[in-house]
Chains A and B, each alone.
Chain A
Amino acid sequence: MIDSSPDSYPMVNSGSQESTCSAHSAIERELIQLFDGLRAPLLRYLYGFPLAPHDAEDVIQESFLSLFQHLHRGTRVASPRNWLFRAVHNSALKRRLRARRDMEGAASLGSAENSLVDSALNPEDQLAFNRTRERLRAVVRALPEQHRWCLYLRAEGLRYREIGEILNMSLGAVCNCLQRSLALVTRAAER
């Protein structure tokens, strides 16, 4: 589990080759550890963006390499998790813009759900579960994308202020987005 508390990375020493190598190894170890912990949450967010799976993997690789470049230059990164969510969000936006220009209009990426069978549920509960899922799916799809992004970032454990920094929104705007989205989700889940 990646700690959301601020993490600071040491400045990279431009001294001897040996100290540079050991600093690089330390950064690499930290990055791989971050990757192991954050890849799944980042992928879930990008799938909900929505972004195609191969694009999502590319965006995540680019973002981690970009983080490495920042750390290598000695830039302090207060929260690598927030930094990475912001980086993947911005990369996903650029990628989608490029894809739209190429394709003369975005194609729908379709739904992500499958007819998952939960073996813990009896047939009646399974039917109820699938119906609720369909309603939730319709509600989430109909949300304005900024509302959807807020919802998915909150689902990944980011605080309101962090969401605001990633999406370049005020705290009040994040609060409103989530309040409205949750109201719709609540109504969909109730029926």
Chain B
Amino acid sequence: MAIDGELPAREVERAESHLATCWACRARKQEVEAAIAEFMRFQRSSFQDRIPSPDGPRALLKAQLHELMAPGSGPRLLRFFGPRLGWVALLASLLVAAVGPFIWHELAPKYPAESAVVTVPNPAFTPGATVLLSQPDVCSEPMAKNKTVPSALQQRVFEEYGIRTAEPDAYEVDYLITPALGGADDIRNLWTESNRVALWNAQVKDALEDRLRNMVCAGQLDLHVAQREIAGNWIEAYKKYFHTDRPLTDVR
């Protein structure tokens, strides 16, 4: 506590008076101070480079603050109808929202669910997400590219993409940024990849992931650049890194 400046003033005097006469304690104090300096160096070098520019987050915070501060940012329905009538209208709309889907389900014509073709994820649902890994971590051991996504999470992804009644084998839940490149087990990194696509299919994406990982581990490409490329538009990334407009049959 003395080294950390946490002692009361009287105790500090006593400690300093002791240190003046005790070489062992003075040496120990220097060791601890050196260790603190090493730890600070370690902490800064570990995390400081990972801190992205504040511009985007600052702008987002400002926008959200403006939204909160906007006049009448409360429930518009209540303001429009006036307090009492507003509550009645609100309750009525809640009732319709609760009962409506059941009525619709019974009365609506039944159409067979069609499996829509999905080649790139919706960035609103799947912007991509990574874990805090360095290039040596990614390349030091062979990581399983296609880790099993828990079924509860798969279900959430299907619901997010509005896929409820399509044939079960028409889609698989895939990582946008593969775990082999530091992709996270997070719903923001998962999407419903269609198995019905002939051209830009899962095998082509796998080839891109292999290519990018090889380039990262060979020092030819920065890990974060690889992550951004695959998250931005994986098809355009394939075209760029394979120098082709169509998938190659030989992907090595």
For A86, the chain B residues whose CB sits under 8 A away are none
Contact A189 B34 (CB under 8 A): yes
Q: What's the Cα separation between A1 and B48 when bound, in Å?
A: 17
Q: Can you give 28 A-B contacts (C-beta < 8 A)?
A: A24-B69, A32-B62, A35-B57, A39-B51, A44-B43, A44-B51, A47-B46, A47-B50, A50-B132, A52-B131, A52-B186, A57-B57, A61-B60, A68-B68, A102-B156, A103-B185, A104-B152, A110-B137, A113-B42, A113-B46, A114-B49, A114-B136, A136-B38, A136-B42, A137-B42, A175-B6, A185-B35, A186-B32
Q: For chain A residues 55-90, which have a beta carbon within 8 Å of chain B?
A: 55, 57, 60-61, 64-65, 68-69, 72
B65 at the interface (CB under 8 A from A): yes
Contact B64 A61 (CB under 8 A): yes
For B38, the chain A residues whose CB sits under 8 A away are 132, 136, 185, 189
Most A-side CB within 10 Å, residue of B52, B54, B130, B184: B184
Contact A189 B45 (CB under 8 A): no
Describe B's contact surface by its main secondary structure. helix
Contact B65 A28 (CB under 8 A): yes
Across the two chains, which residue of chain B brings its CB closest to A40?
Answer: B51
Contact A190 B135 (CB under 8 A): no
Q: For chain A residues 146-191, which have a beta carbon within 8 Å of chain B?
A: 151-152, 154-155, 159-160, 175, 178, 182, 185-186, 188-190
A109 at the interface (CB under 8 A from B): yes
Contact B71 A102 (CB under 8 A): no
| Residues of A that sit less than 8 Å from B by CB | 17, 24, 28, 31-32, 35-36, 39-40, 43-44, 47-48, 50, 52-55, 57, 60-61, 64-65, 68-69, 72, 99, 102-104, 107, 109-116, 118, 132-133, 136-137, 140, 151-152, 154-155, 159-160, 175, 178, 182, 185-186, 188-190
A37 to chain B, nearest CB (A): 10
Contact A53 B132 (CB under 8 A): yes
Most A-side CB within 10 Å, residue of B32, B69, B152: B69
A155-B39 contact, Cβ under 8 Å, with A43-B47, A133-B45: yes
Across the two chains, which residue of chain B brings its CB closest to A161?
Answer: B6
Q: What's the Cα separation between A40 and B52 when bound, in Å?
A: 9
Across the two chains, which residue of chain A brings its CB closest to B153?
Answer: A102
Partner of B134, one of A115, A140, A178, A190: A115
A110 to chain B, nearest CB (A): 4
Across the two chains, which residue of chain A brings its CB closest to B66?
Answer: A28
